Amino acid sequence: MSSPSPEARELAQLLVRKAEGDESVLDRLLGDPDVPDDVLGFHAQQAIEKRLKAVLAFHELEYDRTHSIGYLTSLLEHHGINLPASREQIEELTPWAVAARYEDTFEEVLDRGAIRQQMSVVREWSGRLLSG
């Protein structure tokens, strides 16, 4: 693959910075039992979504505006980009983007320990892909 255009590289960097903002919120609040799962799940989903979109942007691949991690991982895979081993676990975060934020009956419990691990895996994975 050829080097990304300056515009693609700039968009990827912007998305990484935005993901880092969500990760910063998680780092500060993940251990606080008073912070609701829906707040943490939202930021975890957003951070991972933005890192996936950063990789797509870096490779100059178009994607729909969506919160579906499954859609983004499928798109990456379709274009021959290997995904992290935790693909299934990160795809399970999709409902935290919308349903957990706006539905009163959302009853999922966030595995806070797993979130930290998933964030680390996706951060390392995207970092390797974006360094090229």
User: Which CA distances in Å does 126 have to 27, 66, 100?
Assistant: 18, 19, 26
CB 59, CB 113: distance < 8 Å: no
pLDDT at residue number 1 = 55
CA distance 96 to 12: 23
How would residue 101 be classed by pLDDT, with cut points 50, 70 and 90?
low
Q: What is the mean pLDDT of residues 89-109?
A: 78
How would residue 17 be classed by pLDDT, with cut points 50, 70 and 90?
very high
pLDDT, greater one: 15 or 104: 15
Q: What is the CATH number of domain 6-130?
A: 1.20.120.330
Tokens of 45: 């989903």
Q: Return mean pLDDT, the chain.
A: 91
pTM: 0.92
Identity at 59, one-letter amino acid code:
H
CA distance 69 to 75: 10
pLDDT at residue number 107 = 77
Q: What is the mean pLDDT of residues 31-48?
A: 93
pLDDT above 80 (res 67): yes
pLDDT above 90 (res 47): yes
pLDDT at residue number 80 = 96
CA distance 127 to 11: 15
pLDDT above 80 (res 70): yes
Segments making up each domain of the chain, as ranges = 6-130
Calculate ∠ Cα 81-96-23, nearest 5°.
Answer: 65
Q: What is the mean pLDDT of residues 79-97?
A: 88
